[in-house]
Amino acid sequence: MKPVKNLVTFDFHNTLATCDPWFYLEIRDLPLDVLTHIGPALLRDHTREDVTARYRSLRQGVIASGREIDAVDCVTRIAAELDIEVDRASIEEGVHRLMRQSMEHVEPVQGAIEVVREIAGRGIPVGVISSAVYHPFLEWTLENFGIAQDLAFVVTSASCGHYKSNPEIYRYAMSLVGADPSRSIHVGDSPKWDVCAAQQAGMQAIWFSNGNMDAFVDRAPETTPDYTANALSETAPWIYRYLDLPLT
C-alpha cells in the first residue's frame, strides 16, 4: 500500500508576508506603472483611469475563468488594447524592476517564519500556494525571510496557470509531493480563495482571521473553515492534532 503523505500549505499575501506596493501592482497598477517606467510618452493619449480600468477588467476575467495570465502577458495585452507599440523585452525589464523595488517594503506576518520552520522541522512537507502574476517575487521574499529551504515547493498562479478561483491549483500543488487530500491542510486569510477553494480540492482549510478584507470579493462564500486561527501560532497545534501527531 502506498504510504499516506501529509502536506501543509500557506497562502502568501497577508498570511506569510505583507507588501502593499507589490499587492497594488498585482491588482491595479501593473500596466500603468510598467508603461510609465518604459516611457511616460507611451501613455500621453490615455488616462490613468482608463489603463487601470482595463487591467481590472482583465484581472476579473482571470478570476472568472480560473486561468491565469502572468505579469508580462498582462502588460502586453493592455498595451495592445491601447495600440501602444512596445517590445516584450522592455516589458520584462520593467516588470522585474518594479517588482524588485517593491521588495523594500515586504515584511513577514507575525509568527510566519516560526510556524513554517516548526512544521517543516517535524518532517511535514510545507508549501506555498498563491495567486500571483509574478512568481519570482515570492521566491525573493521567502529567500529573504530565510525559509525558502524549508519549503517543498512554491506554487503561484503564474507558475501553474491556475488562479485560486480554480481548485485545480490546489490539486496541482498536492500532486507535486504525492499528498493525500485528506491529509493536506491549507492556511490562508481569504474565506473564498483559501477556504472554499481548498476545501473543493479535498483539503482541510484553516482560516487565518487577521482582520483583512478580501480584495474585489463582493461577498463571502457560504463556507465554514475547518478551523479558525486568530494568530499563526495557533495553527500548528491544530494541524498536529488533525494529523494525529504529538504536540511536542
- List, in sequence order, every residue forming a beta bridge with 18; answer none if it has no partner: 107
Q: What is the per-residue pLDDT for 52? A: 97
Share of the chain above pLDDT 90, in %: 92
Q: What is the DSSP letter of 13?
A: B
pTM: 0.93
**Is the CB of residue 197 less than 8 Å from the CB of residue 164?**
yes
Contact between 61 and 138 (Cβ < 8 Å): no
pLDDT in tens, 132-177: 999 999 999 999 999 999 999 999 999 999 999 999 999 999 999 9
CATH 3.40.50.2300 fits 7-19+107-242, yes or no: no
Residue with cell 478561483: 165
Q: One-letter amino acid identity for 45?
A: D
- Cell numbers given for 185: 491542510
Domain ranges within the chain, ordered by starting residue: 7-19+107-242, 21-104
> Is the distance from CB of 159 to CB of 65 less than 8 angstroms?
no
